[in-house]
Chain A
Amino acid sequence: MRLYLRLLGAHFRSMMEYETDFLILAAATVLMQVVNIVFLSALFAKVPVLNGWTFWSVLMMFGAVALAEGVGSLFFDGMWSLAWQINRGELDYFLVRPYPVALQVSSAALGINGLSNIVTGGLMIAAGLAHSAVDWTPWRVALAVLLLLSSVVIKVSINLATNAVCFWLNSPSPMFAFAMHQVGDLARFPLSIYPVALKAVLGVVLPFAFISFFPIAYLLDTGSSQWVGLLTPVAAVYCAAVAALIFRRGLRRYESAGN
């Protein structure tokens, strides 16, 4: 844990050398979220509810996706360079060090855009909660925190799993993982608007819906299958296990580029 933060800290210091670059990236991610908010407010200016979901509850889902994505970038951005490292045979260096390979991979970079996504995502969730009628008991607060943590774990696990697919794909770029990441954007809207096949994909195959839709549906008491939200921690454990399995299987396939 301490070592992990130290590795990230080193990247952070090197990043701070390029201050404008850092500002551009932070501004760009904030801009993306602003565009999302403008879009949502323009949409909900005309329609009060979308399948029972109000502006504020959909905003919360956008926020949850942004937050989970932000944690993934800030603390685990190195996963996205896995494809490149495999292609170049650079994984060799990690294999000879006495520290879990997956952790070395994920700490190989730090995406400062994650910080702005965490902040904007957090604000969106907070704004959504402020406009909701949840009656808060200590038990509910604890549950909300647990759901939030689980949703982050799911996002990071999916990142690891889809990036680890590069062990089989032999592509130097994380195109596959990035495409799957884009699919996750579908989960920013209530799942009930999609056809059955898509619900199955987002709920089971790539459980993006557990990052935003199910936990928030439970918390806000919206929609028809709220109890599913309680399964979020289970989904998180499942995703983490599958991701670890895929990564380990892939690592066994790894052949160096011959240093």
Chain B
Amino acid sequence: MRGYRALARATARAALAYRFSLLLGMVAVLVQLVALLAVWHVILEQSPMNGFTWPQMRAYLLVAFAAGTVVSILGDFRMAFRILDGDVALDLVKPVDYQKARLAESLGGLWIELALISLVVGVTLAVTGGVDLPPGPGLALFAASMLILVPLKFLIVYVSTLACFWTQNFMGVQWARLAVVNLFSGALIPLVFLPGWLATVAQWSPFAGLTSTPALIFLGQVDGREALQLVAVQLGWVLVLWFGARLVWRAALRRLTVNGG
């Protein structure tokens, strides 16, 4: 346990040492927030659409921004390079579990990300006006959903990064993942706007848990049993991916060849 805590602290320290890079890394998610806020402001000013009013869409986009920002510090690129360079061999001899160690590293930067999220959400609300909080039970479920989002997002990034054992081209894998996550999570556009069949696929995919589920619960667009069911799906995917990742890892190790040493 102490080893994992040390890894987590190292992430935070590295992130704080390269503060400028940290902020630049947030630009992509921030740009999407600004662009979509502007687009929906123009559209929803006249009339609500698909059950979304302008304040609701604003809240939705802020949740999407928060979800897009957590677990993004120092993650995949470092792991990818270590696999591609063969440095991963050094990780293998360490007396910690590889998957848990990477999780610990991802969690280490969480408090910094939360601080940045609060800042951006605070500024946005100050500029564009407040949002309505859901009633007590909804808020609790939203918090639970955001909590589950953290391991879920880690696992999706982790599994896709393991692809580096099979291909040299991490960029391509990362781009493809970003594109799929952006659409299927509802970060780009709420899932109800998609054609029915696509929305259904997205709804049951692991990606919906990355934005759509917590956002809809926050807005109160789903409640009661339906909300619980969405969170259960989210949790189910965490379990599936956690053990699935172990299988992928085992297969990956069999492919690993490291030159020199």
Contacts and interface: CB of A to CB of B under 8 A. Distances in A.
B146 to A, nearest CB: 24
Contact of B173 (A24, A34, A113): A24
A183 B39 contact: no
A42 B31 contact: no
Interface of B is mostly: helix
A183 B169 contact: no
B248 interface: no
Contacts of B247: none
B195 A189 contact: no
B171 A25 contact: yes
- Most central of B38, B168, B182, B195 by chain A CB within 10 Å: B38
Contacts of B38: 189, 193-195, 198
A182 interface: yes
Contacts of B197: none
A39 interface: yes
Interface residues of A, number: 39
A18 interface: yes
Interface in B19-75: 20-21, 24-25, 27-28, 31-32, 34-35, 38-39, 41-43, 49-50
Q: Give the secondary structure class of A's interface.
A: helix
Contacts of B167: 20-21, 24
B24 A29 contact: no
Interface in A72-124: 113
A49 to B, nearest CB: 10
Interface in A173-220: 173, 175-176, 178-179, 182-183, 185-186, 188-189, 193-195, 198
B89 interface: no
A175 B21 contact: yes
Q: Which of A39, A42, A113 has the most CB of B within 10 A?
A: A42
B172 A46 contact: no
A113 B173 CA distance: 12
Interface of B: 20-21, 24-25, 27-28, 31-32, 34-35, 38-39, 41-43, 49-50, 167-169, 171-173, 175-176, 178-180, 182-183, 188-189, 193-195, 198
5 contacts: A20-B167, A24-B172, A39-B189, A186-B31, A194-B38
Given A21-B169, A186-B35, 14 more contacts: A20-B169, A24-B169, A28-B173, A32-B179, A35-B182, A35-B188, A42-B189, A43-B43, A45-B193, A50-B42, A186-B31, A188-B35, A189-B35, A189-B39
